[in-house]
Amino acid sequence: MEFREGLTFDDVLLVPKYSDITSRSQVDLGTRLSRNISINMPLISANMDTVTESAMAVTMAREGGIGIIHRFLTMQEQVDEVLKVKRSGSVVIENPYTISPEQTVHDAAAYAEDKGVSGLLVAGPDSKLVGILTERDMEFEEDTSRPVRDLMTKDVVTAGPDIGPGEARRLMHKNRIEKLPLVDGSGTIRGLITSKDITDLENYPGASKDSKGRPLVGAAVGVKDDFMERTDMLLGAGADVIVVDIAHGHSENALSAVRHIKKGFPSCELIAGNVATARGAEDLIKAGVDAVKTGVGSGSICITRVVTGSGVPQLTAVMDCAKVGRDNDIPVISDGGTRTSGDATKALAAGASSVMVGSMLGGTDESPGSVLTKNGKRFKVYRGMASLGASLGRRSKSPGFSMDDDLNDYVAEGVEAMVPYKGSVNDILKQLTGGIRSGLSYCGAHTIPQMQKNAEFIKMSGAGFAESQPHVFS
């Protein structure tokens, strides 16, 4: 048997090249996520239940990347997470939340809290606007059984559906209001603009947006049971891309799911994986994917290689898959093994169009889960989606689950860990993108495609790796 050599990020360095870049701001990090979707930052937050729900996805889109909502929710819960992202940054909210004037203040407060909004439009018959109810209207109200019509603001400043952002901004400033309902000539509600939407438009000029100006967001589905119905609901909620999520993407289960989704939803932008070989990428592309997710066993809390003995070192996997991707004009996503901005730069130089990150984003304010305190230090849970806890969590939601199930039936390929609390993910993203920009400049490249063309790798020894690390001697 002939043995190939597989390399990962720590085995190589990028050879520095002449650069005419005088500032990192001259570097463009725009890239392709999939066949028809582009993003402004080559980073994707992983579809893990301790990494990406709506809060993370909103932040990723605002910074120019994209988040993939994990699939370990009920269908409606996952749909709601997608809707929260879409509503978080649209210039015009097309279907604003409304409430009837006859409902109680208690109902209104509970509904607003559930939807994460600070106010509701009050709609009468045929969706006619009759008022608006804000947090200020409900503040200090002790009798929450009172009907909404008693507290709502009835004299509402409105605008037509075709108003532009600039004119809306001036109108809201003039009237000192935070919400501007849009109504047609008959008084029917046609949309809503909020001051936050206008501010976000100005504060995040590089945000990743869809054709309606809403944040881009993806959502993951499995390969069994409800994946077709789930895909239908997620696309209906506005998901821009669907990710077929399976540990072993070069399998009939994955290929069959891809074919079914593409047949049922031909215009769906579809990512699938994970694979680690050129043949795996080729088979997924033939099945109809619009991007290939690459990486088996390289994640920080993945133990697939330990449990199964299978995998390919990540740099080699990316290079092999990227060649097939280039031949078919299909982007490749590097998923796993990224611990630093240097690793991300190497993955991009090796041919990946973008990099999916998980562990670096876990433990942040935007990741799901509560902050726990132990010995005066703060932590959050981070776990692989093939860990025992995640597997039991999924199984517990399935019909027929019993607490008497034999734990030997579960073979974990991931672990769980307590990671230090890290604060806002924005700070991490700034460090990552800053490092990647510098990495491009060292390769003499202004863009990711230019770096991929110019990149030259050099293999290094263990001593070379040690030399690369900080080494201060007293």
Residues designated catalytic: 302
155 is in an annotated binding site: no
| 176 carries a ligand binding annotation | no
Neighbouring C-beta atoms of residue 19, cutoff 10 Å: 15
| Number of Cβ within a 10 Å radius of residue 6 | 15
Q: Is 1 flagged in the annotation as binding?
A: no
Residue 354 marked ligand-binding: no
**Is residue 54 a known part of a binding site?**
no
358 annotated as belonging to a binding site for a ligand: yes
CB neighbours of 436 closer than 8 A, spacing ≥ 6?
A: 29, 42, 341, 344, 345, 348
Q: Is position 124 annotated in a ligand binding site?
A: no
Q: Is 187 annotated as a binding residue?
A: no
The answer to whether 246 is a known ligand-binding residue is: yes
Does residue 67 have a known ligand-binding role? no
Phi, psi of 253 (to 5 degrees): -60, -45
Q: Is 337 flagged in the annotation as binding? A: yes
Residue 247 in marked binding region: yes
135 assigned to a ligand binding site? no
Q: Is 111 annotated as a binding residue?
A: no
The β-bridge partners of 271 are 243, 291
202 is in an annotated binding site: no
Is position 282 annotated in a ligand binding site?
A: no
Question: Is residue 296 a known part of a binding site?
Answer: yes
385 is in an annotated binding site: yes
Answer yes or no: is 191 a known binding residue.
no
Residues in the chain, how many?
Answer: 474
Number of Cα atoms under 13 Å in the Cβ half of residue 69 = 32
Find out whether 110 is annotated in a ligand binding site: no
Backbone angles phi, psi at 404, to 5 degrees: -90, 5
Binding-site annotation, residues for K(+): 297, 299, 302, 467-468
Binding-site annotation, residues for IMP: 300, 335-337, 358-359, 382-386, 413
Binding-site annotation, residues for NAD(+): 245-247, 295-297
Binding-site annotation, residues: 245-247, 295-297, 299-300, 302, 335-337, 358-359, 382-386, 413, 467-468
